[in-house]
Amino acid sequence: MRGIELSELTIKRGDKEVLRQVDFVFSPHEFILLSGASGSGKSTLLKAIAGFADVPYSGTIAVDGKSLTQANMSDKARQIGMMFQNPGQQFTMKTLRREIIFVLENLQTKPSDITEQMQEAVLLADTTELLDRQLSTLSGGEKQRAALTVLLAMRSPFLLLDEPFASIDPKTRKLLIQQLHQLKNQGKTIIICDHDFNDYADAVDTWVTLDNQVLQNVPVALLKQVQTNVFLTDHRASTDGILRLEDVRYKQNKRELLSRDSFHFSKGITTLTGDNGTGKSTLFRSIAQCHRYKGKMFLYDKKLKKTRTLYQTLSLVTQEAEKQFVTLTPAEEFTYSEYQWEDAKRQRQEAIEFLGLEPLLNRSVFHLSEGQKKSIQLLTMLSLDVPFLLLDEPFSGLDERAANYFANWFKRQANRQDMMIISHRLAPLDGVSQHHVHLDKKQLWQQDYSAEEEIKDVSDEKFCFSAKRTTTTFDY
């Protein structure tokens, strides 16, 4: 196997050059980390390598010594498997089992081999429990694991993974990175894009960065220096309650996620953690009155009901930025709502300049990178004059610089707006989040910790603080 060879490669996305006259080789049988700023062109490069027709380029791309330019989609898929940042875009069938069968049949896999390849992939990705659930009801992290399972079932020798762990809990992330390392040992070539460098230092063979239209190698040893310790320090401003649940329970696809729970959330910024599929996003949708539940919820001591005025009190920032856009360009998104903070325009402009978004303002939002879409979504939603904001995976697709910028914005905003944040990426929230709630075993748990204690790894349940239940004895 000769790896992936780029020769005099120039790629454009719209009127912007992603690569310019690049010669580079991704070596075979290696686990390769590809990094770069949001919008630098990593996803576009992977699509070009995979042979997507909507990514025109000049120069040559050879995969194992052959160009895939004239190959049909089945031949390309047999050689290269690609997982998108937004996995929901690549599902065709209703369940993971049917999706795997559909894909393998299209690859003309022998019927006798389909079951074997499915079982092997499900075992590697640990997705047995997802096989027959409706894909539309899975959490963001579960969808990513399902998409990876399909990819593994294809047995392509080259795997291209674009932000595959953005919504995956830390425990599963570590497991999957080690599984990919084992696949590399079995002869596969894997290129993975990620903004989070944790867990790669002892797993990848090569680290490549894309910056200013150039690919270059970086010593893997440096990964140990840029890894971030995941911890939340206690900066709680207030323990006054803002959101109270009374005997609340809800289900997703007949599966109970929260069981008759009574709980209160405090003012300020709260981080909500929990493994994939435990019901964190469903809780947010329930609070926003977009998902049916039993029991009662009170926000600022008023019972939550689905009314026209509800969304003058709270707003939900969804995981998938694209689903929240209502206009065609960022400039139109920014001015769509009339209910904005007085200083919203000034703060947006400062962010636009800092993040280099000025050239994008009149482009279609649907032609932006996932990181750029997330930035536009956050700029729009943080402008809304609402006292309570729910943010579901706000750092998905953002590079470290952008993630830290928005985390600091959250901190500044906390003096006039309460927030609840779901995130598996905790490093940007250190010193920002004031409260930590964990969802596990159908119950909410208030994590009680001191400023000196650290959460080294929230995934192994060995928290460096005590967990305790809270009740509705709060004095409203």
For Cα atoms 72, 76, 77, give the angle at the middle one, nearest 5 degrees.
115
User: What is the residue-averaged pLDDT of the chain?
Assistant: 88
CB 11 within 8 A of CB 185: no
Bridge partners, residue 448, by sequence? 466
> Which of 91, 78, 164 lies closest to 125 in space, CA to CA?
164
Q: Is 366 helix (H, G, I), strand (E, B) or coil?
A: helix
Give 206: exposed, middle or buried? Use CB within 10 Å, 0-12, 13-18, 19+: middle
What's the maximum distance between 2 C-alpha atoms anywhere in the chain? 71
Average pLDDT, stretch 142-151?
92
> Which of 452, 334, 316, 341 lies closest to 391 in space, CA to CA?
316
Q: In this model, does residue 438 exceed pLDDT 50?
A: yes
Q: In this model, does residue 314 exceed pLDDT 80?
A: yes
Give 229's pLDDT tier (boundaries 50, 70, 90): low
Q: What is the pTM of this model?
A: 0.81
Q: Give the H/E segment covering residue 164.
A: none
User: How many other CB atoms are there within 10 angstroms of residue 440's CB atom?
Assistant: 14
The stretches of 259-414 forming alpha helices (DSSP H) are 280-287, 330-336, 344-355, 370-382, 400-413
> Which of 159, 125, 124, 161 lies closest to 142 in space, CA to CA?
125
What tokens appear for 457 in the block? 């790894």
Alpha carbons 43 and 378: distance in angstroms, whole number: 21
Alpha carbons 22 and 209: distance in angstroms, whole number: 13
- Which of 69-83, 140-154, 231-245 shows the lowest per-residue confidence on average (mean pLDDT)? 231-245
Provide the pLDDT for residue 448: 59
Provide the pLDDT for residue 274: 94
Provide the pLDDT for residue 18: 86
Provide the pLDDT for residue 377: 97
Provide the pLDDT for residue 324: 94
* 221 CB-near residues (< 8 Å, 6+ apart): 201
pLDDT digits (tens, 9 = 90+) for 114-124: 999 999 999 98
pLDDT digits (tens, 9 = 90+) for 197-209: 989 999 999 999 9
Provide the pLDDT for residue 471: 37
Alpha carbons 159 and 181: distance in angstroms, whole number: 12
Alpha carbons 365 and 353: distance in angstroms, whole number: 18
Alpha carbons 348 and 337: distance in angstroms, whole number: 14
Distance of CA 356 to the CA centre of its chain: 22
Give 474's pLDDT tier (boundaries 50, 70, 90): very low
pLDDT digits (tens, 9 = 90+) for 86-119: 777 789 999 999 999 999 999 999 999 999 999 9
More reliable by pLDDT, 238 or 341 = 341
pLDDT digits (tens, 9 = 90+) for 439-467: 999 999 987 544 334 333 433 333 333 33
Q: Which domains does the chain have, with CATH numbers?
A: 4-226 (3.40.50.300), 241-313+386-468 (3.40.50.300)
More reliable by pLDDT, 211 or 380 = 380
Bridge partners, residue 264, by sequence? 244
Alpha carbons 6 and 21: distance in angstroms, whole number: 9
Q: Which amino acid, 15?
A: D
Provide the pLDDT for residue 51: 87
What tokens appear for 370 in the block? 């996932």
